[in-house]
């Protein structure tokens, strides 16, 4: 006799079939925000409408950090929000450096807002609900084989066929497809292996969405 007990500790959201949208962050849908100007910034992260994280970031031409990764799921796991800060930045990014916001696990939906501020004013430089600014990155991982459409605002700008893994050869997922889309892109067709990332960089502020057209299963 044998018995099997699964601890059910799988990252189930990784296999969710929902579309990936730059207006809300979830597992497999990340953004990279480029800080194109020096200054002081306030980063706000909401989960399902509730503020779960706030931090100060400083960007300077002589900053040393080119990329900072933020796992929003881990911030939300902390339960208590460290939402009040004295304006002292945790990090000093280099101008044109990126903060990459991703969600490692769970089914929560997150929104990021970034404000640039000084003694006299505040300016929203990223409100993810509205659109991604020019130069920001939308980073999506396509797990299921099939065909997908990339929509910028409501126009299809590319199709991507995600290939089934070939069990006869080693399968790598660290080979991303990088699409730098001009202001008026012509539709393009691409292929990637299942599990690889698609990175879309826009020439103008817009909302990006990736939808399944046809799944192979």
Partner 1 sequence: MSRITVAVSESTFKTAFELLQRNFAMRFEQTVALGAVRAGIDARARLENGDVSLRQDGTVKVGELDVRWSRLTLSLEIDLPSICVGGGCIGTRWLRICLPRYCVFTASTDVSVAVDLAPYVGQEVSFESVFAVRYWDPAAPGPDGPVPCEPVRDLLVAGELLDAFPTDRKQWHVHLAPGPVDVDLFDFPDVAGDLVEGALRNAVFGLLPEGSARTLVLAVIGSATDLIRTVLDAPDDFEEWLSDLFNVSFGLLDVVIQVVAAYFGRCVPLFRIDDPFVVMEAEGDLLPVSIPIDDVKITADDDELVITADIGAGS
CB 87 within 8 A of CB 56: yes
Is residue 19 a contact point for partner 1 (CB under 8 A)? no
DSSP letter (8 states) at residue 96: E
The binding track of 119-148 with respect to partner 1, each residue x by CB under 8 A or -, is ------------------x-x-x-xxxx--
Beta strand segments in 72-207, E: 91-102, 110-117, 122-127, 137-141, 146-152, 155-163, 177-181, 188-193, 197-202
The DSSP string of 66-92 is EEEEEEHHHHHHT-S------S--SEE
Is residue 50 a contact point for partner 1 (CB under 8 A)? no
Sole binder of partner 1 in the list 69, 153, 191, 214 (CB under 8 A): 69
- Beta carbon nearer to partner 1, 146 or 185: 146
Sole binder of partner 1 in the list 80, 120, 121, 166 (CB under 8 A): 166
Spatial neighbors of 39 by CB under 8 A, at least 6 apart, are: 58, 59, 116, 117, 118
Is residue 171 a contact point for partner 1 (CB under 8 A)? yes
Q: Which residues bind partner 1 (CB under 8 A)?
A: 1-12, 14-15, 27-28, 30, 32, 34, 66-67, 69, 71, 96-98, 100, 102, 104-105, 137, 139, 141, 143-146, 164-167, 170-171, 173-176, 178, 180, 194-197, 199, 201, 215-217
């Amino acid at each position: 006799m044998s018995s099997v007990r699964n601890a059910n500790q799988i990252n189930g959201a990784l296999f969710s079939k929902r579309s990936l949208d730059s207006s809300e962050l979830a597992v497999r849908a990340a953004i990279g925000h480029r800080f194109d100007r020096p200054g002081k910034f306030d980063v706000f992260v909401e989960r399902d409408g509730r503020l779960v994280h706030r931090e100060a970031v400083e960007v300077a031409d002589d900053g040393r950090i080119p990329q900072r990764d933020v796992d929003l799921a881990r911030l939300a796991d902390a339960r208590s929000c460290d939402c009040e800060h004295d304006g002292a930045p945790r990090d000093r990014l280099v101008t044109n450096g990126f903060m990459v916001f991703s969600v490692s696990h769970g089914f929560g939906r997150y929104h990021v807002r970034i404000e640039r501020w000084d003694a006299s004013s505040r300016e929203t430089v990223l409100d993810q609900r509205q659109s991604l600014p020019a130069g920001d990155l939308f980073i999506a991982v396509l797990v299921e084989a099939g065909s997908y459409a990339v929509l910028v605002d409501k126009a299809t700008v590319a199709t991507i066929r995600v290939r089934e893994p070939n069990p006869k050869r080693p399968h790598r997922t660290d080979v991303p497809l990088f699409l730098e889309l001009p202001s008026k892109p012509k539709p393009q067709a691409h292929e990637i292996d299942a599990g690889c990332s698609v990175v879309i960089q826009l020439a103008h502020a817009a909302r990006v969405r990736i939808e399944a057209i046809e799944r192979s299963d």
